[in-house]
Amino acid sequence: MLVDEVAQRLRTAGLNAAAWDSGGSTQGVGINRTENPSDGFALFFGTAGSTWAGEVLDDGEVVGAVETAIPSESEEVDRIADGIVSAIADFMAKQQQRHQD
C-alpha cells in the first residue's frame, strides 16, 4: 500500500512515521514526536484535497496545517516523502521565525 511505502521512506529519512488506516476512508501517514506510539501523532499527512497535505496536532487537536506541492494522485514514493519532509521543514522554519519576531 502506498502509505506504507511512504512511511517506510520517511523512517529511512529519520522520522518516526507510521502508516495509518482508520478502517474507513481515512488513510495516511502519521509522524510521532517520540518512539512511543501512544503519545499520538504530531503530524498526519494524507490526500483529502488536490495535494498531499497534513495537520499539525497537539494532544489530538489540530493546531496548524502544512501542504506539499505533490498531487494527491502521485504514486511516486520518494517524491511524496521528499515533499512531506520539505513541508515539515518549511513549517518549522516559519514557527521558529514567529517565535523570534
Q: What is the pLDDT of residue 22?
A: 66
Q: List the domain range (segments joined by +) for residue 89.
A: 2-100
3-state secondary structure 38-97: HHCEEEEEECCCCEEEEEEEECCEEEEEEEEEEECCCCCHHHHHHHHHHHHHHHHHHHHH
Q: Average pLDDT of 15-34?
A: 82
Q: What is the pLDDT of residue 35?
A: 64
Q: What is the pLDDT of residue 85?
A: 96
**Structural domain count of the chain:** 1
Assign 39 a pLDDT band (cuts: 50, 70, 90).
low
Model pTM above 0.75: yes
